[in-house]
Amino acid sequence: MSKLKVGIIGCGAIGTEIAKACQGRLKDKIGLAGICDIDESKTRALNKALAKNVPVLNLEDIIKNSGLIVEAASAAMSASVLEKCIDAGRDCLMMSVGGLLGREELLQKAKEKSIRVYIPSGAICGIDGLKSASIGKIDSVTLTTRKPPKGLAGAPYLKEKNIDVLSIKEEKTIFEGSAEEAVKGFPQNVNVSAVLSLAGVGAKKTRVKIVTSPAYTANIHEIEIAGEFGRIVTRSENLPSKANPKTSALAIFSAIATLEGIASSVRIGT
């Protein structure tokens, strides 16, 4: 059986760990076709971290030479990457899901062209239940995210509101609104709200609350879903990735598990 040829776009913390998994845990089923990043220092660092160097390709060539593209770049690029994959007839695994809100027509276009788009559940639990519940009527989906200040620093919303998150001394709610607004204001921090939106009632109806405190040591996501099925409440306490405090380790594990599922003949869960 031939290996699935995977190309990785984005060589930061997430792309690096996925690449390592492709040469480690998944090596019998997946081969790396190449890596791509606009920052050459990141591709050099990634190849240095790998057991075996892989080709560094530009965007067009990596899509052309891969059977599956892993997008781990940024919300600013993800929609463009997906569109290029669809046009080239390539399946895609999307990590920067926030960039797809407002561009949901791309998912419909992928469906029409029989292109598979994989979106990992990321740093939260309950997506399987939400997908099942969406067969019936859902009344509400609410996400409360709790992160330490350094995991939120630099977010556009904080700059716009002139909030110095690093000076906060006690627990404080810094945002309440829709998932659509949350993703725009915190593009690197609440990607999970985009996943919830696409699996459930949409970005305008999914509610998000962001709380921070210097006492927090984990990235915590609490989800409440209510509908005709009943009620689901989940809480995930995620340790930040060692390479990037804005990313939960579980989000990276989720991507690797999704890749493993793509290459496997047995699938568990909704």
158, 154, 196, 94 alpha-carbon torsion, rounded to 10°: 150
Active-site annotation holder among 180, 221, 222, 241? 221
Q: Could you give the angle at the alpha carbon of 119 between the alpha carbons of 236 and 202, nearest 5°?
A: 80
Verify whether residue 129 is a known catalytic residue.
no
Query: Which residues participate in catalysis according to the annotation?
Result: 221
